[in-house]
Amino acid sequence: MKLILCYKDVSTQACHVGLGVTALNLAASLVEAGVYAEIWPVFDGYALRDRLKVSPDVTHVVMLAPWVDTPFLRGLTATFPKVQFTVTCHSNIGFLQCDAWSVKVIREQMELERDRLNFRVSGNSKVYCDTMVAAYRRPCQHLPNLHHMQLPPTSRERWSKGTILRIGIFGATRVLKNMGTAVAAALITAETLQAETEIWVSAGREEGGKGVMAACRNMVAGHTYARLVESPWQPWAQFHSTVRKMNILLQPSFTESFNNVTADGITMGVPSVVGPAIEWVPRDWQADPDDATELAKTAMRLIGSRRAAARGLRALENYNAAAISAWKQYLAA
């Protein structure tokens, strides 16, 4: 068996490396679990087809995100009938509503699955997969993200009064990422603790969230304790170094399918306050994403906790174990 994890290569833009990071984590975790996997970043479907022509030992191709149109995919499955193909949707329904083309091809490819024994649709979120099954009475394979930990998680000292409090709000500037409420929660935290606070945000990628960053700047401007730090998008290793500086992360998304930032924080010993959409974390990390006061209270409790990071690690390990099992079931079938 030879598994290929394939994604559209946009490596020249650090702000769009998310799928590459997902592929890297998947491949490393699966190889560690005894599954042979390779990563193929490709420019387009033609590049994928050309590589398959000279790789007769490939048995499975998992295409991360719906980036190939259905007629071309139909041709691929016919040209390589011994290869099992799947297209994995990397978002839940909430984010997909902003991407009409992806919704269109997902519906088309659900029908393609009826005609091709070597093709399946899939998703990295069980909630998404369950929705597809319930809404359309069509199967949807659950192929969850994995987060590989090469080294033991970083341990770090808790924040102490008199030092700078650093709060990270990282990710694409999308409306459903709920960045404004996160900034408000950070301001409440700074005001309550009367602490000099840096609110770090990812800058330079507004996807359906134009005006959000400007609003956040206006929220923080002139605040007694807080200032906004706009962090440019970085390669993954550099981003880890940035996350390690934080005392707490805020990720109160209204919708998610995994959230790499929360997992990155765990590997750096930094807990996160999240909405219930990120359901795999400890329950007491979750708060109402529409209530900045509740988010702030949760953040302050986690900032002072001696055990938060360790409990986050256990949650991630449990998640990874279940995800490996799901992948092995798919590959065995």
CATH code where residue 185 lies: 3.40.50.2000
Say how many domains are in the chain.
2
| pLDDT of the chain, 333 residues: tens digit per residue | 999 999 998 664 444 467 888 999 999 999 999 999 999 999 999 999 999 999 999 999 999 999 999 999 999 999 999 999 999 999 999 989 888 999 999 999 999 999 999 999 999 999 999 999 999 999 999 999 999 987 666 677 889 999 999 999 999 888 999 999 999 999 999 999 999 999 999 987 776 667 899 999 999 999 999 999 999 988 888 898 999 999 999 999 999 999 999 999 999 999 999 999 999 999 999 999 999 999 999 999 999 998 999 999 999 999 999 999 999 999 998
Residue 136 shares a structural domain with residue 174: no
Residue 306 shares a structural domain with residue 186: yes
Residue 180 shares a structural domain with residue 137: no
**148/24 Cα distance (integer angstroms):** 8
Domain boundary pick from 80, 114, 146: 146
Q: Look-up: residue for tokens 């934080």? A: 246
Residue 244 shares a structural domain with residue 136: no
| pLDDT given for residue 208 in this prediction | 63
Residue 99 shares a structural domain with residue 173: no
Q: Is the pTM of this model over 0.85?
A: yes
Residue 211 shares a structural domain with residue 118: no
92 within a domain of the structure (yes/no): yes
Residue 142 shares a structural domain with residue 190: no
Range 109-114 contact pairs with CB under 8 angstroms and sequence separation of 24 or more: 109/66, 109/70, 109/73, 110/136, 110/138, 112/70, 112/73, 112/74, 112/77, 113/138, 113/139
**152/156 Cα distance (integer angstroms):** 12
Residue 73 shares a structural domain with residue 130: yes
328 within a domain of the structure (yes/no): no
Residue 131 shares a structural domain with residue 63: yes
**272/253 Cα distance (integer angstroms):** 12
Q: Quick count: other Cβ atoms within 10 Å of Cβ 252?
A: 29
Residue 181 shares a structural domain with residue 293: yes
> What is the separation of C-alpha 68 from the centre of its chain, rounded to a whole number of angstroms?
21
321 within a domain of the structure (yes/no): no
Let me know: does 270 contact 308? Beta carbons within 8 Å: no
160 within a domain of the structure (yes/no): no
330 within a domain of the structure (yes/no): no
- Residues of the domain holding 130: 3-146
Let me know: does 75 contact 52? Beta carbons within 8 Å: no
| pLDDT given for residue 319 in this prediction | 97
55 within a domain of the structure (yes/no): yes
323 within a domain of the structure (yes/no): no
Residue 222 shares a structural domain with residue 99: no
Q: What's the residue count for the chain?
A: 333
CATH code, domain with 79: 3.40.50
273 within a domain of the structure (yes/no): yes
Sequence-distant (6+) residues with CB within 8 A of 18 are 260
Residue 135 shares a structural domain with residue 182: no
Let me know: does 256 contact 126? Beta carbons within 8 Å: no
Q: What is the DSSP letter of 173?
A: B
